[in-house]
Amino acid sequence: ILERDITPIFIINAKTLLVTATSLKKDGRDDDQALKIVVSCVELFVFLTWSMDSETEEVKMQFIRILRSYKRAFANDEVIFCLLAIAVMYMKRGSALSEKEWMMVKGILYVFRNILAIPDPLVSPSSGAMAAQIEVHDRLIAVLEKQMAIDFFLTLASSADQRRLKDLRKTLLDIVYYLFCRVPVTALFSQQQDTWFKDSEHHRTKSSRHNNFGGVYAVSTGEGTIMPVFNAREVLQPFANLFRKRAKVQKPKETGEAPVDRQWRTVNAESISVLRRIAAVFIESCYNPFISVLFEDSRSGVMVVDEFTPRLLYMAAYFVDISLANSAIELGCTCALVQTSTFGLVMRHASSYVELKEWNRLEPAMYCIQQILLALSKMRRTKLESLGENVLSNLFYDGDALDLFVKLCRVYKPTRTSREFLEQVARLTETFLDTLKGYSETKVGMTVKKRVKKRVPKVKKDDENDQENDADSDSA
């Protein structure tokens, strides 16, 4: 019904509305009729495509196929063009925008956000042509790029510090997040990391004739006969009874859906080029004003646990990660994240997540801290060194901040956190130690004060009794 009936009705009336709005001869009746139909269609689009994250898993699985069919219907040039043209037409009016027209703009952005948020099924890279038929996200990104909808999002993000766009900031953050959702930084830019912690998948021994058939074991049967064995399991066969009882592997309990989805997907070459352009333009033109005003909103927020803050932390760190991987991007383009106040806010969020045991939200916070430390290390011996010097000096002498990293190393337990969480803790700890080491090497004669708890003098019981007797005698 959506693809065959509702979207054609919306396209016809949207074009009518655009023509009557720009023509000199306006027929008020036709304009009002088309506007009512367009408003009703946009409201229906928002309702039909709204996220179902708050529902149970059974309900989500029931409707996920329907939502994916809606996503395919919206990956259409005419639908995207009409939605974008109406939003641009109203935004051009500036302060003369009425409340009804402003709600229309917000509704259209909600539609863009909702259709981008509908997840594609995770398909194996070996599926080939079948993957292109199932995955719609890359096709939708191509349509948004062709109709210049992405440029409209970037323009709004670069002006997000304006007061009139305050209500659109979280929606714009979600749109940018879903554009890059499930796309690792390494897929966009090659990244060289000299760390001891490596992904086992990239360093696994490749199968060959040497490691499959080259190993021969000599096993004694106990009767003086030696038999050649070509399989390690056959060697351990005499000890099978010892290993009969397999150790129970503890898995983390389900703690709800994470605010950041890091199940990486395969991206085609066309989408990679588009996402590279988006990332470059966003970092150079939008990052500092957009991220700064979002952190201001996060600082003034009342709720400690929400879906907005972890996603903000992840996206802020994600684009810093991209800028560090691409040498052509200047460090000053992402300096909003390395401000002393912003770094302190990120550390406070991480500390709150540790105290509240919000492990899914703690992981993006650790990723953000790691990227801040990497950016500060890269700022040495540059014109931004003074900016990083202030943050590093506060970090080096702040006992509470140092204690936080110790707490992060202690919170891992197989029953409550995942292996990916442990990997992030390992990366952050290594980066933190390297940062402190590099900072201390640049300073000569540094001293670190040892925190000593003040001892409370103990009062002897005899003295207390004497004082009580004296007080009784005085009262008598």
Q: What is the SS3 assignment for 358-382? A: CHHHHHHHHHHHHHHHHHHHHCCCC
pLDDT for 89: 92
pLDDT for 229: 52
pLDDT for 23: 66
pLDDT for 177: 95
Q: What is the SS3 assignment for 313-359? A: HHHHHHHHHHHHHCCCCCHHHHHHHHCHHHHHHHHHHHHHHHHHCCH
pLDDT for 428: 93
Rounded to two decimals, what is the model's pTM?
0.78
pLDDT for 225: 53
In this prediction, the residues of the chain whose per-residue pLDDT falls under 70 are: 22-31, 54, 123-134, 190-257, 301-305, 444-476
CB burial string 54-63: b at 16+ within 10 A, e below? eeeeeeeeee
Cα(297)–Cα(308) distance, integer angstroms: 10
CB burial string 421-440: b at 16+ within 10 A, e below? beebbebbbebbeebbeebe
Contact 408, 354 (CB under 8 A): yes
Quote the DSSP letter at residue 118: S
Cα(246)–Cα(242) distance, integer angstroms: 10
Q: Which residues pair with 217 in a beta bridge?
A: 229
pLDDT for 200: 36
pLDDT for 213: 44
Q: Which residues pair with 226 in a beta bridge?
A: 220
Report residue 224: phi and psi, to 5°.
Answer: 85, 5
Cα(99)–Cα(453) distance, integer angstroms: 60
pLDDT for 153: 96
146-204 pLDDT, tens digit per residue, is 999 999 999 999 999 898 899 999 999 999 999 999 899 988 876 544 333 334 344 34
For residue 141, give the 3-state DSSP assignment: helix
How many Cβ atoms sit within 10 Å of the Cβ of residue 420?
A: 11
Cα(319)–Cα(189) distance, integer angstroms: 11
pLDDT for 211: 43
Cα(46)–Cα(109) distance, integer angstroms: 9
